[in-house]
Amino acid sequence: MTIKSDNRHLYLQVIDRLKKDIDKGVYKEKERLPSEFELSRQLGISRATLREALRILEEENRIVRRHGVGTFVNAKPLFSSGIEQLYSVTDMIRMAGMEPGTVFLSSSVHQPTDEDINRFNCTPDDDMTIIERVRTANGDPVVYCVDKIPTDLMPTSFTHQDRSIFSLLEENGGMYISYAVTHIEPAGYHEKVSPILGCEPETALLVLKQLHYDDKDQPILYSLNYFKADRFSFHVVRKRV
C-alpha cells in the first residue's frame, strides 16, 4: 500500500492516493479513517507528510477532522449546479433525481426594513410578506429558505403546500423571474438553521443571498437560502477578458 515515488511532492501523491481510495469505496462516506499512526505506516510516509495531505483534503471538503474523535470521509454533494444558471431549489432537487418536498414554518407580513426599501424601491408603508420554509429531498431537510416578497405582488392563491416560489409567481402572479444578483457566503454552525437541517457541529453552510428580477428589470423576490455544504456544490465558469 505504500506510495510509489514520482517527481511530485510526496504530500500531493498522498492526496491523490486517498482521493482514489475514497472514490473506490475503500473508505466510505462518513466512515472514520485509520489513525494517523496507522495510515502513515500503511502508506510508508511520515506523519508530517500525512498531516499536510489531510489538511488540504479538509480544505477541499473531502474529509472532516473532529478533535479527539478522528478523521472522517465527507459525503459527496448530491446537488451540483453552475451558479451562472438560475434554478429554483425545487428544480435542483429534481435534477438530482430526488423528490422535492416542503416543510412550511411560517408566513407573516411586516413593514419593510431600510434594506427592503432599497432593494425593492418601495415606501415605508408597503408591506413585505416573509415566508419561512425547509426544503427536503426524499424527505431529508437540505435547504432552509426565507423568501421576501412585496405583499402587493404576492399571489392570493398561495398555500402552505406550494413548493416552488418561482412557479407560484409565474403561474399565479404572471411574473417571470429572468435573473438574479447573487452573493454567496460561507457560514459555520448556525444556532437556528443547523439543528433544523440536522447538521453536525462541524458541517458548514453555504448561504445564497439573491435578489430576483423580472424581465422588466423590476426586483420582485429576495431569498436567503442556507444550503448544507456537504450536500450542495456550486461552480462558475470564468472567462478571461
Structural domains in the chain, sorted by start:
10-73 (1.10.10.10), 79-235 (3.40.1410.10)
Grid coordinates standing for 158? 398561495
Q: What is the pLDDT of residue 161?
A: 65
Q: What is the pLDDT of residue 9?
A: 84
Name the nearest CA neighbour of 96 among 238, 204, 232. Answer: 232
Q: What is the pLDDT of residue 4?
A: 60
What percentage of the chain's residues is helix, strand, coil (to nearest 5)? 25, 35, 40
Q: Residue 71 region, left (φ>0) first, then alpha (ψ -120 to 50), else beta?
A: beta
Beta pairing partners, 129: 109, 149
- Does residue 13 contact residue 3 with C-beta atoms inside 8 Å? yes
- Does residue 211 contact residue 181 with C-beta atoms inside 8 Å? yes
| Buried residues in 226-241 as b, exposed as e (16+ CB within 10 A) | bbbbbbbebeeeeeee
Give CA–CA dist 237/87, Å, rounded: 16
Q: Is the dihedral of CA 75, 81, 83, 87 positive or negative?
A: negative
* Digit-coded pLDDT (tens) for 136-171: 989 999 999 999 999 998 887 776 666 678 888 888
Tens digit of each residue's pLDDT, the chain (241 residues) = 556 666 778 889 999 999 999 888 899 888 899 999 999 999 999 999 999 999 999 888 788 888 788 898 887 776 677 777 788 888 888 888 889 999 999 999 999 999 999 999 999 999 999 999 999 989 999 999 999 999 998 887 776 666 678 888 888 778 889 999 999 998 888 999 999 999 888 788 999 999 999 999 999 999 999 998 877 877 777 777 7
CA 203 to chain centre: 11
Element (H, E) at 104: strand 100-110
What number of CA atoms fall less than 13 Å from residue 175's CA on the CB side? Answer: 22
Q: What is the pLDDT of residue 231?
A: 78
Q: What is the pLDDT of residue 6?
A: 67
Name the nearest CA neighbour of 226 among 212, 240, 205, 198. Answer: 205
